[in-house]
């Protein structure tokens, strides 16, 4: 809670002004019954019209003060709450950006989305409502009570008899509420997850005719959300009747004993009317309590969830991003007895990996699916940190490079091509925002995508993603490669990123990349591609089972021979089919 609300600190003046105005409104509200009592006792009962006019005018004047205070209060409350939510959302977003992969994996994506949207809105609403009306309720209760004691101590006493029971009751409800509403937010996470998965997999769902199945999956999670929300709200709905019951009993006691006291001449009618008026205001304020407790419990649950993100600073990457002072990377790469285990997993995925790539050399990495190829690549830009062993880039251990320097000169093309909504140009310059247009075009030419882009009516200005053209798998892959080339990387890492290219385009691509000075690491399934590399690293279940040139592996590794043989047979079959 403390960390979350510390984001309200810069807005302490708007908050202070809003509070002050809220107190002004409240004071007017509290003074009104006193003035009514005065008008009744000294004006109506004493038949003095001047008193009625004088105090009536004061009441009118105060009503105007309250009105303007309310309007200005709304302005400042809205400003403070919206700005606070904006800052909080920014802070959460930056924090998530700064997460290391290990921390990132601790939070489900949908849970992060809910935190950045619904949870922020919850606390934003509570701040606004707090400044506008919510804080008025407890103050109104207290103020009414104090004023009631000022008017008549004996009668006011009947109003506080039920207070201790009420306070304990409200405390218990608030505590229970936090637990219940945390559950509700968790359910909302799950609803968001199903929505997210469905929107991403829309084509697959259509192709498999799984629309109905997915609809029932959605209705299950939505139903659980409904169930838990109803459960929480039902419990909260107990608050109001209990509050009203206690207040009405108190009110009856005030009326009963008030009548007796007036009969005995110990109290005046105006006093009783004023106290009843205060009691009614307290009852009205208590009605707000039910709402306040719901809002507060929800906001507290949301704040705790956001806190988890804000304090997850065990492994922040930004802290390690300042420049290391080391010069531009050279493309030399060395792995020395590197092992890696994913956080929280018992078995290592990579086991004792050693190899060396000289600057400008090309290393092909091969291995069955799940053998750890992508994992190995992720260790170079330190997306994950090696659990054992050492990785050297340009002769310096990767831990000694600042993340910024290290990643600035690595061009990673992931297995799955990811493009952002925007133009082709935006996507290319995403690799390096300072690259000139001709550099972008140059990269596109090398990645063999320039000609396809040229065919689009809007060329480099063509929008991709939603509301834009849908690129083919191979076009996306080439655009991703071009984006990496824009960075002019010393080390270019291609994680099976040419799988969707036809043979001719792929050959043209390799030819263009040959001319690059960059060291290259290329994950591939094709022996034909591996043959063109200086060396091949063959992985099997996280272990190196072959390392050398194509010729070396053909001599040393049975597994490599088998792969080469099966691919050669495939080629013969394909050739045969083509010629028949
Ligand atoms: N974030 C993760 N947490 C835990 N295990 C993971 C994670 N990512 C991958 N793995 C596991 O690590 C192993 C190696 O995965 P990796 O993606 O590196 O293989 P790969 O050789 O690149 O496979 P493919 O050729 O299918 O892409 C797999 O068993 C996978 O289940």
CB atoms within 10 A of CB 337: 12
CB of 374 within 6 A of ligand 1: the answer is: yes
Where, residue-wise, is CATH 3.40.50.300 in the chain? 326-409+491-575, 416-488
Structure confidence at residue 313 (pLDDT): 65
Between the CA of 411 and the centroid of ligand 1 the distance, in Å, is 20
Under a CB-based contact definition with an 8 Å cutoff, are residues 447 and 440 in contact? no
CATH 3.50.50.60 assigned to 326-409+491-575: no
In angstroms, what is the span from residue 564 Cα to ligand 1's centroid?
24
Instruction: Report yes or no: 540 and 367 within 8 Å, Cβ to Cβ.
Output: yes
Q: How many CB atoms lie within 10 A of CB 142?
A: 14
Tell me the CA distances in angstroms from 467 to 102, 421, 459, 461, 471, one per residue in order: 34, 9, 16, 13, 12
The CATH number for 416-488, chosen from 3.40.50.300, 3.40.50.620, 3.20.19.10, 3.40.980.10, is: 3.40.50.300
Ligand 1 probe mutation, 374, 385, 537, most atoms within 8 A of CB: 374
Q: Where are the alpha helices (DSSP H) in 201-264?
A: 202-207, 211-237, 239-264
**What pLDDT score does 306 carry?**
92
pLDDT in tens, 490-526: 899 999 888 777 778 888 888 888 887 789 999 988 8
Atom nearest to 378 CA in ligand 1? 18
Task: Supply the DSSP string of 459-500, one letter for each residue.
Answer: GGG-EESTTSBPPPHHHHHHHHHHHHHHT--SEEEEESTTTT
- Structural Rg of the chain based on CA atoms: 36
Q: Which two tokens stand for residue 80?
A: 């403070």
CA angle 421, 422, 425 (to 5 degrees): 135
Q: Which long-range contacts (CB under 8 A, 24 or more apart) does 3-10 make?
A: 3/307, 3/310, 3/311, 4/88, 4/123, 4/303, 4/306, 4/307, 4/310, 5/123, 5/303, 7/84, 7/87, 7/88, 7/91, 8/80, 8/84, 8/127, 10/83, 10/87
For the chain, give every residue range classified as CATH 1.20.1560.10.
2-310
Residue 305 to residues 58, 101, 104, 119, 196, Cα–Cα distance (Å) = 49, 19, 15, 8, 20
From the candidate CATH numbers 3.40.50.720, 3.40.50.10860, 1.10.10.60, 1.20.1560.10, the one assigned to the domain spanning 2-310: 1.20.1560.10
pLDDT for res 168: 85
349 C-alpha vs ligand 1 centroid, how far in Å? Answer: 8
What does the pLDDT look like over 520-577, one tens digit per residue?
A: 999 988 888 888 889 999 999 889 998 998 888 888 888 888 888 887 766 555 555 5
Low-confidence ranges of the chain (pLDDT < 50): 318-319, 578, 580
Beta bridge pairs of residue 492: 411, 520
């Amino acid at each position: 809670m403390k960390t979350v609300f510390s984001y309200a600190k810069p807005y302490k003046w708007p908050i202070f002004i809003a509070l002050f105005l809220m107190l002004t409104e409240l004071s007017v509200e509290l003074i009104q019954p006193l003035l009514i009592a005065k008008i009744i006792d000294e004006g109506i009962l004493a038949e003095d019209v001047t008193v009625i006019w004088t105090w009536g005018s004061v009441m009118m004047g105060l009503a105007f003060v309250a009105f303007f205070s309310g309007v200005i209060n709304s302005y400042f409350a809205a400003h403070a709450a919206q700005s606070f939510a904006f800052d909080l959302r920014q802070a959460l977003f930056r924090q998530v950006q700064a997460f290391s992969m290990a921390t990132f994996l601790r939070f489900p994506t949908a849970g992060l989305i809910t935190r950045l949207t619904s949870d922020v809105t919850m606390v934003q609403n509570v701040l606004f409502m707090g400044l506008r009306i919510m804080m008025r309720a407890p103050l109104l209760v207290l103020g009414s009570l104090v004023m009631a004691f000022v008017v008549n101590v004996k009668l006011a006493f009947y109003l506080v008899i039920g207070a201790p029971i009420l306070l304990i009751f409200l405390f218990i409800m608030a505590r229970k509420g936090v637990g219940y509403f945390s559950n509700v937010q968790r359910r909302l996470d799950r609803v968001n997850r199903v929505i997210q998965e469905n929107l991403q997999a829309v084509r697959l769902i259509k192709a498999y005719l799984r629309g109905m199945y997915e609809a029932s999956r959605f209705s299950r999670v939505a139903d659980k959300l409904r169930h838990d929300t109803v459960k929480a709200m039902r419990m909260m709905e107990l608050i109001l009747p209990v509050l009203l019951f206690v207040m009405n009993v108190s009110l009856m006691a005030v009326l009963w004993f008030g009548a007796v006291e007036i009969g005995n001449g110990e109290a005046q009618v105006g006093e009783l009317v004023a106290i009843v008026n205060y009691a009614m205001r307290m009852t009205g304020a208590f009605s707000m309590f039910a709402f306040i407790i719901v809002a507060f419990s929800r906001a507290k649950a949301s704040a705790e969830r956001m806190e988890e993100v804000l304090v997850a600073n065990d492994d922040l990457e930004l802290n390690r991003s300042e420049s290391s002072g080391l010069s531009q990377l050279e493309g030399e790469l060395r792995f020395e007895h590197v092992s890696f285990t994913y956080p929280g997993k018992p078995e290592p995925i990579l086991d004792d990996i050693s190899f060396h790539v000289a600057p400008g050399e090309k290393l092909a990495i091969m291995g069955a699916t799940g053998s750890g190829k992508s994992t190995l690549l992720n260790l170079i830009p330190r997306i994950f940190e090696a659990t054992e062993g050492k990785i050297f880039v340009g002769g310096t251990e990767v831990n000694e490079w600042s993340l910024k320097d290290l990643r600035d000169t690595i061009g990673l093309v992931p297995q799955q091509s990811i493009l952002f909504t925007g133009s082709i140009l935006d996507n290319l310059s995403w690799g390096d925002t300072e690259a000139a247009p001709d550099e972008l075009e140059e990269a596109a030419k090398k990645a063999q995508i320039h000609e396809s882009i040229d065919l689009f009516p809007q060329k480099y200005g063509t929008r991709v993603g939603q509301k834009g053209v849908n690129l083919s798998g191979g076009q996306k892959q080439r655009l991703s490669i071009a984006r990496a080339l824009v960075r002019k990387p010393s080390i270019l890492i291609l994680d099976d990123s040419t799988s969707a290219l036809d043979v001719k385009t792929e050959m043209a691509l390799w030819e263009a990349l040959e001319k690059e000075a960059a060291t290259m690491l290329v994950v591939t399934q094709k022996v034909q591609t591996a043959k063109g590399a200086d060396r091949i690293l063959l992985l099997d279940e996280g272990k190196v089972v072959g390392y050398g040139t194509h010729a070396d592996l053909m001599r040393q590794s049975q597994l490599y021979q088998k792969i080469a043989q099966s691919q050669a047979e495939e080629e013969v079959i394909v050739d045969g089919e083509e010629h028949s």
